[in-house]
Amino acid sequence: MEEKIGEVTHYFGHIPAGIFKLAGTLKRGDKVHVKGATTDFTQEITSMQVDHKNVEEGKKGDEVGVEIDQKVRDGDEVFLVTQ
């Protein structure tokens, strides 16, 4: 099952990272599905930052920087994958 957890607000082309604006709680180790017009992949969150500081979780309203496996685009939706 999947639950919308936020959306992409920025992608850094020179490093494999993006910014997610959260609509719920996201923890390091969670699996997310990123989906958009040309984006569609699933990955585990291995690194997350808030205000340039490493964190274990982000909460609703936070803008978190995450290390990502593939290019994402502004407006792509982020879903939390649950079993």
- The domains of the chain are located at 2-26+48-81
Predicted local confidence at residue 38, as pLDDT: 96
Confidence of residue 13 (pLDDT cuts 50, 70, 90): confident
Average pLDDT (15-38) is 97
Is residue 40's pLDDT more than 90?
yes
Predicted local confidence at residue 83, as pLDDT: 75
Whole-angstrom distance, CA of residue 41 vs CA of residue 52: 25
Edge-to-edge strands of the sheet including 40-44? 40-44, 31-35, 77-81, 2-12, 17-22, 63-67, 48-50, 53-54
Predicted local confidence at residue 17, as pLDDT: 95
The single-letter DSSP state of residue 38 is: S
Is residue 41's pLDDT more than 90?
yes
Beta strands in 1-83 (DSSP E): 2-12, 17-22, 26-27, 31-35, 40-44, 48-50, 53-54, 57-58, 63-67, 77-81
- pTM reported for the whole predicted model: 0.93
> Where is pLDDT greater, at 78 or 83?
78
Residue 50, beta-bridge partner list = 53
